[in-house]
Structure 1
């Protein structure tokens, strides 16, 4: 019997097929309903149907045409199950149209064997699903394959499934596999990393969210996300890069902060400026970096200022990092705080010579951290000295505001001496520096007075041998002071303190001699067995 071709089908503008209307409509509810309309019963010998969004395109239409012409018989494999299932739904090849055989039913039976599919077959099926996502999603096949993929990853978390390595080799994405993004725990890539980079960011988002819900290790998840974005940015359009970056940042933000690499986050930050990321995405990225800024390096912080900003480096970005660090999950440990203090000292030395850096921003940088972040303020003094040398037109009031960042009690003697002779600093700062040294001397003198009082209370009770060098150290400390300052009263007062220290030194030496004699007496007496505290060491 001769089969006529009375139907012309335009598939997505790609190709035109000439088929038999009755044969295809006997399996497709979509075509059957179309031909039942009055407008479709025209006297024309050949009808024409145009599909603009047929899933799978010409390949899929050719498969269902063969299925229909072969009276509902075709070979269904893991390779074409997803494709056939989606076009069967699109063409409404349901039980109502053809009770047996039924293409939807046949593909669903094939899906029942998905636990036995190889890893590469699962990944390929998911890739097909995302290519015609609306139909795959509405039919439920997308979620089923995605769930199977995640299950395969979690079941074989350490090693790849048996036999999947060679099978998945054709799916591997050619990116720089020799320079994987480093993380704080390991550079190791899990077996499934390279296979999944062929998936789009929407699929990755669903996969990662499902993995997190199943308690997959956050370190592994974050390591994959850094690897994925690195590979994705090497071969994608600007819009694809932006979308992928925003999704990856959102996913990283949902993980434990301790699970991700600070270096990897800075890597994303470097490329984000050209992608015009959303404000929310950029804020989350900066927050994650700020929470672990103690792991950053100086090079990480030296981000060029955006166009229109009056400085060489983006100091506002660094200030936001510091704010996030100080507010992230309560107070930071003292060790981490001091690490950030050391990092900021290096940063201040780099930005201080910038003639465009405004005093207000420089002050914000020097005062951003609490006093406990630094044991010494020598680095801050040096940075301020450089800044004042470059910004010669500052008023005395502006200079004093800048110098308020210095804790003079945390300056070493050498820095105080340098400051006293530094003409770039206001005269009032010189006095403050000397007063801080005076307070240090007073503290030492008080300690010596307590020492004397303590030794008197021990008189007659004996004492271990001691070497009282405190007086000599105090004298040397006082002699190093540069007293060539304008404040004569302060100079005279410090000289008086120096004389008193010398007197205390003599007293301490006498005490040492007396203690030695007492100790000799106590050692010669057999009844003395009680050990006494050491006076001086």
Structure 2
């Protein structure tokens, strides 16, 4: 065959090749089409490729395939590039009826199940620089990943040591990682023995590997541990932009896992890293959503995150509000257990106490925090009351409307008697708040007296009845104490008249209670044996 060099090929700026136009075009549909449109003026043609798969090295292999009349040796390390290059050059037909390059690479791909672990890793490592669209088109890289993950799934079902301590695997580890024999034998028997091996992959291939693991029902706990290990290992030498891409890849991969399989501590750690970097808003939002679903596992230190630059709040209140929104909406409030929502309620009250002294915190944000959870999340509102007290102590320039809106978040019926006493003397709170606290205590007393008027006969012992009566008398005394210590501003005549009416009603209730106690005592004396000493009867009042 006569061979002449009438075409100059520049491959990605890496190398220039002088080739025979007739030889290459007989195998490449792309070159046939290109040369068919060209007008030759007697000089050599020049072809420039900017994105040839594998660069100059792979083009040389493709040229050898053409010059050898469709014959070439394909190895695991060159398969992906040759397959991609064959598609790039449109090598679907061969001269003299021989197999074209696409057919030969696909035939070699069918034998991938016989590749060693080292062959798979080396093939992925050398071919991971392919463009994403090329990876998706040729499918070789994806098949390598699926085979790799299949090996991992198989070893997870049996024993890592039996499947990985093979001669070729050992040789690969020594050549690539320079590990000692003892170190390898130790790591071989761990469930995460493959973590270090997969560090050779870039973010794109790791994300594809995670998708393959999820599709093959790989253990989600192990996957999440690998992702965090990958992030920490890669961060050691990564630049800022690379760190952002790594974080975004890890977050996107974590979103495909069961969120309960992910360490909450690691989630909070990667959140703080994400906030310090310029990661995408979408990535941060997805991470916050996962964390918010498990808000009941958080501690106060977890959510005391400083505000971002440009915000004068001491802590990032908006972030906590987004956590709470995710907890309530994502967890479907009707399915959130009482224990979980109660834990979040206690956590939020502690957070309110921490942010209340911040002089820059606007009342709207404080109210948003105080009203973020439903009333069922709290058995007592004492902690919220004390947080409000601190907030009003610092923010003395609030309008009456702002103060009223803050106090509206309180459930006065869930305030303890001690908190009500403190509130009755607290001039920072509006008069309406103290009246509501007093009314709630009056309502409790009425409920107690109502129960006493309709006793559950035969179901309680004298001592139990005595304790209940003492409790009723104590509650009535507390109410009188609150009313006596409650100081009303002289200009508010309506409130003063209302309190005077309440005191009269309390006095009437005390008389009814005393009369009822006398009647119950007579009933007990009439039913007692004649030999029993009356002094031995339990006393209702002391």
What's the TM-score once normalised by structure 2's chain length? 0.77
Q: Which moved more, 1:334-343 or 1:110-119?
A: 110-119
Instruction: Give the alignment partner of residue 351 of structure 1, picking from 349, 355, 366.
Output: 355
1:337 pairs, out of 338, 341, 349, with 341
Q: Secondary structure at the match of 2:454?
A: helix
Q: Spell out, residue by residue over 1:126-157, the C-alpha distance to the aligned partner (whole angstroms, 9 max, x if none).
A: 33333123545433323332332333333333
1:157 aligned counterpart, secondary structure: helix
Q: Given the superposition, is the C-alpha separation of residues 511 and 87 from structure 1 closer, same or farther in structure 2, using an over 3 Å criterion?
A: same
**1:231-270 matched pairs, under 5 angstroms:** 231-270=233-272
Q: Does 1:122 align with 2:123?
A: no
What is the Cα deviation at residue 292 of structure 1? 2.0
Larger CA deviation: 351-360 vs 275-284: 275-284
Instruction: Compare 280-289 and 333-342 and name the one that shifted more.
Output: 280-289
Structure 2: gaps spanning 5 or more residues: 180-189, 488-498, 533-542
**Would you say the 8 A contact 2:31–2:89 is kept in 1?**
no
Counterpart in 1 of 2:138? 139
Moved more, 31-40 or 141-150: 31-40
* Distance change in 2, residues 1:109/1:401 (3 Å): closer
Determine the structure 2 residue equivalent to 1:83.
81
**Could you say which structure has the higher helix fraction?**
2
Question: How far did residue 219 of structure 1 move?
Answer: 4.0
Counterpart in the other structure of 1:200: 202
Can you list the C-alpha shifts for 1:292-327, whole angstroms capped at 9, x where unaligned?
Answer: 211222222222223443522222222222222222
Q: Which residue of 2 aligns with 1:154?
A: 153
Deviation at 1:117, TM superposition (A): 1.1
1:267 Cα deviation (Å)?
3.2
Specify the alignment match of 2:301 in structure 1.
299
**Inter-partner Cα distance in structure 1 for 2:400 and 2:50:** 75
Distance across 2 between alignment mates of 1:60 and 1:230: 34
Matched-pair contact (CA < 8 Å) for 1:26–1:98? no
Counterparts in 2 of 1:61 and 1:89: CA distance versus 1, 3 Å: same
State the Cα distance separating 1:338 from its structure 2 match: 0.8
SS in 2 for 1:131: coil
Rounded Cα–Cα distance in structure 2 between residues aligned with 1:349 and 1:168: 57
* Matching residue of 2:290: 288
State the distance in 2 between where 1:267 and 1:98 align.
Answer: 62
1:417-442 Cα distance to aligned partner (Å, 9 max, x none): 11112222222322222222222222
| TM-score w.r.t. length of structure 1 | 0.78
Equivalent-residue separation in structure 2 for 1:108 and 1:349 (angstroms): 66
Matching of residue 390 in structure 1 with residue 389 in structure 2: no
Q: What corresponds to 2:539 in structure 1?
A: none
- For residues 113 and 439 of structure 1, do their structure 2 counterparts lie closer, same or farther at Cα, with a shift above 3 Å needed? same
What is the CA–CA distance in structure 1 between the aligned matches of 2:170 and 2:524, rounded to whole Å? 83
The separation in 2 between residues aligned to 1:12 and 1:313, in whole angstroms, is 51
What does residue 415 of structure 2 align with?
411
